[in-house]
Amino acid sequence: DDGDHVPALVIGSGYGGAVTALRLTRAGIATVVVEMGMAWNTAGPDGRIFCDMLNPDRRSYWLRTRTDQPVGYFLGIDANKPIGRYTGVLDAERFAGIRVYQGRGVGGGSLVNGGIAVLPRRDYFAEILPSVDVTAMYDTYFPRATAALGVNAIDTAWFETADCYRYARVSRDQARASGFATTFLGNVYDFDYMKQEQAGTVTRSALGSEVIYGNNHGKRSLDKTYLAAAAATGRLSITAQHMVTAVAPASLGGYAVTMNQLDTTGATIAVKTVRADRVFFAAGSVGTSKLLVAMRAQGRLPDLPGAVGQGWGNNGNVMVARAQHLWNTTGALQSGMPAMGIDNWADPAGPVFAEIAPFPAGAELWISLYLAITKNPNRAGFAYDSSTGTVGLTWQTAQNQPAVTAAKRVFDKINKAQLTVYRSDLFGGDKVWGDDFTYHPLGGCVLGQATDDYGRLPGYPGLYVMDGSLIPGSTGVNPFVTITALAERNIEKVIATDVG
Ligand code: FAD
């Protein structure tokens, strides 16, 4: 029994999934979105939907009994805390050589991320995805994406005076004084709301140490933008707390999609199957790659190309912190939404685009934190383990050395010019470089390699990939605008030629 029949089923409700859902429903197609995480729309006993970074509770992490913070130590001491096991909003998914942070819930990564909305450099986009018409991307699909995402620009005069961006001004001024260019970053967080937070007239969110475990106010996450617009068509249905485990051709035509209904402890309380004419994989770089690699290995989709599961990268992510002099305070109040970056991408010896990241500890710590995006050429692949039935990732921590080397060129120079030093107490074992985790998983089902030039999976009409797995491991900036715009381009083609 292949269960209920639906015309279109989307696996995952992050950027790729939300774009797909809006465009399909607007085209008149009834669409079901299946999301393993929760619908974060109900307040807990404390009156809030999400917890903050200073007081993480069970809502913070996906099925863990202890937090797993990106910056896991302070003064060399483990800063993580016990929590209740729950289907929380942030997953720190552990593979052999890397932790991959991902959002879990209706809205995917948009629930937990820093909201930074940046277009990739045009020449770099042309380099990574040579089969895509660059003019159409920059004239049509990037503008369409930024408008629908609700990207806004910071009031730069306000930025110069706001207490909550003192940390960014200090880092910017020192970068400039050390010979580097800096740039403001667009964001989907409502900067007018943030101004009111700074003025003390509304409930604080970005200024209340809210980021990575969700924002209770101010953030234009996908549930408030793309998914809300899709719901307004009356043709969207979202099934939360259901994890897709299998997709295979159905005897009656289309595909049988099998899923586990989860309770909040992560236990399976029901197994269901739905038959769909078209299935859109939008479970994120890791989720889509794992599912497709498992389906190929298990013989359910045996003809998937060898490129499925290959070409995965971490967008060259590496985190680092500098210790400031006592007279260079970074501020006890720090906006969780970054607004400024150091742009040294044009340096051929080691391109770096570094976001000036907050350290929203609620106390003066004299720490300047950065998330550097580099052009690390190393890639990895997903592999099925038949003995456990799980999918691993071949990435080794040492593969991130090119990212460290590139970032070191920038921050060594800043430290030398400013007479400052690195913090070595934040990443465990006296490490200076947070080189063993990523916020930006990309690739695994690369456009034009694992799929055709519009995300169609060869050999399986009606199966599509629509998320960050299409991007070959790097986009040179924070990736969600690239993922959104590429999905806009691909779904437009699919609706025009395949559907209806
Ligand atoms: P996702 O957004 O990850 O969505 C995939 C969805 O599929 C998830 O909701 C997941 O739960 C669901 N799913 C997975 N497997 C299954 C399954 N088997 N069945 C059902 N559902 C499934 N990017 C930026 O551009 N700017 C930033 O400021 C920024 N900050 C970040 C900060 C953090 C802490 C993190 C973790 C990420 C950040 N990112 C940022 C990255 C950005 O959020 C991701 O690149 C983006 O969310 C990826 O979009 P996607 O559509 O590929 O997948």
Q: What percent of the chain has pLDDT over 90?
A: 99
Q: Decide if 279 contacts 255 (C-beta within 8 A).
A: yes
- Is 242 one of the annotated active-site residues of the chain? no
CA distance 38 to 89: 8
Read off the pLDDT of residues 152-181 as tens digits, 9 standing for 90 and up. 999 999 999 999 999 999 999 999 999 999
CA distance 381 to 393: 6
pLDDT number for residue 3: 79
The three-state secondary structure class of 75 is coil
Read off the pLDDT of residues 427-469 as tens digits, 9 standing for 90 and up. 999 999 999 999 999 999 999 999 999 999 999 999 999 999 9
Question: What is the DSSP-derived secondary structure letter of residue 466?
Answer: -
pLDDT number for residue 500: 66
Active-site hit among 210, 440, 488, 492: 440
Residue where the block lists tokens 């150091």: 342
282 lines ligand 1 (CB under 6 A): yes
Q: Is 254 left (phi over 0), alpha (psi -120 to 50) or beta?
A: left
CA distance 88 to 371: 24
Helices then strands (H, E): number in the chain?
Answer: 11, 25
Q: Decide if 389 contacts 300 (C-beta within 8 A).
A: no
Domain range for 171:
4-497
Residues 6 or more apart whose CB falls under 8 angstroms from that of 1 comprise 273
Residue where the block lists tokens 């009994």: 65
Q: How far, in Å, is the centroid of ligand 1 from the Cα of 163?
A: 30
- Is 440 one of the annotated active-site residues of the chain? yes
pTM, two decimals, is 0.98
Q: What share of the chain is helix, strand, coil (3-state, %, to 5)?
A: 25, 25, 50
Substitution site in 71, 286, 480 for ligand 1 pocket (most atoms within 8 Å of beta carbon) = 480
108 lines ligand 1 (CB under 6 A): yes
Read off the pLDDT of residues 187-246 as tens digits, 9 standing for 90 and up. 999 999 999 999 999 999 999 999 999 999 999 999 999 999 999 999 999 999 999 999
CATH value at residue 481: 3.50.50.60
Active-site hit among 93, 355, 488, 492: 355
Q: How many domains does the chain have?
A: 1
> Of the candidates 287, 339, 335, which has an alpha carbon nearest to the alpha carbon of residue 109?
287
User: Which amino acid, residue 370?
Assistant: Y
ipTM > 0.90, yes or no: yes
The series of mean pLDDT values per 10 residues for the chain, 500 residues long, is 89 99 98 98 97 97 98 96 98 98 98 98 98 98 98 98 98 98 98 98 98 98 98 98 98 97 98 98 99 98 98 98 97 98 96 97 97 98 97 98 98 98 96 98 98 98 98 98 99 94
pLDDT number for residue 1: 61
